[in-house]
Amino acid sequence: MSDIRFDNRVAIVTGAGGGLGRQHALELARRGARVVINDLGGSMDGTGGNSAAAEAVVAEIEAMGGQAIANGSSVADDAGVKKMIDDTLAAFGRIDIIIANAGILRDKSFSKMTQQDVDLVVDVHLLGTFKPFMAAWDIMKEQGYGRLVVTTSSTGLYGNFGQGNYGAAKLGVVGLMNTLKIEGAKYDIKVNAVCPIAATRMTEGLMPQQTLDQLKPEYVTPGVINLVKEDAPSGMILSAGAGAFSMAQIVETRGAFVGQGEALTAEAVAAKWDEITDTTTQTHFESGAGHGGNIFGRLQEAAQKA
């Protein structure tokens, strides 16, 4: 199998001053990419900021003979995102890859969560993915190439106590991916999601040290590299951690036609609940049209039996 290379490609990695983002950026640089190290340099809750972390990663890349620049923009700020894109084009002339990795936490149980806790987390995770992608979208369309990665979470896919804000944002980026994979297809823009389990500043204190030792950020990055390579998939959710990888999907049961008009009651739905929820036949749809097709398929079957 040939080496995966990124020669002549330009990548932006957000939140790349440490943790997962740093590992993604270093590996892209090792494989030939020119990299923009975006990091606001703030604390875990999103406050403060300085460029020291981003500049340190740039120094690491330059020491290995690679090319990189630092950018201290907030991914949730329109002017900051514009500067990030402008800095990238000024330095390298194109944008091929964006890995949206920047994140903060404001964990609280739902009854204790404030509106600010919601706004800040949604701004960084959801809008902080949306805005850079939107700013680079037409550039990628015009050049006929793009690779985008959103960073989702098991909290978004499956839930976790005290993370209603984070989970909502993290499932939101999957919704963005699902549409962009369709809109970008004819321009060779591929969009995927990584669902990482890693020991980073955001997970310290949540797991025992023995477990954290198995969850090195660099054990996630090889999977991410496969999401941004030339022959990458599109629309995939790749779970990654401790050197193990799996694919997550949203699936739907075959379902059942219950009835229409007076025959359609809550009790009639209850009577067919076992058939509606039968998981022996489940499908992953490539677009919303597949979801509608499944529903109308049951309607058509009922009409044929009538």
Active-site residue list? 166
Cβ-contact 136, 86 below 8 angstroms = no
CA distances from 155 to 14, 44, 61, 119 (A): 20, 17, 32, 17
Cβ-contact 38, 73 below 8 angstroms = yes
280 Cβ contact list (under 8 Å, min separation 6): none
Cβ-contact 236, 193 below 8 angstroms = yes
Beta-sheet pairing, 189-196 with 237-241: parallel
d(CA 132, CA 200): 23
* Closest listed residue to residue 306, CA positions, set 262, 269, 257, 266: 257
Helix/strand/coil for 248: strand
Partners of 68 in the β-ladder? 35
CA distances from 72 to 48, 50, 134 (A): 12, 7, 19
DSSP conformation letters of 10-56: EEEEETTTSHHHHHHHHHHHHTT-EEEEE-----TTS----SHHHHH
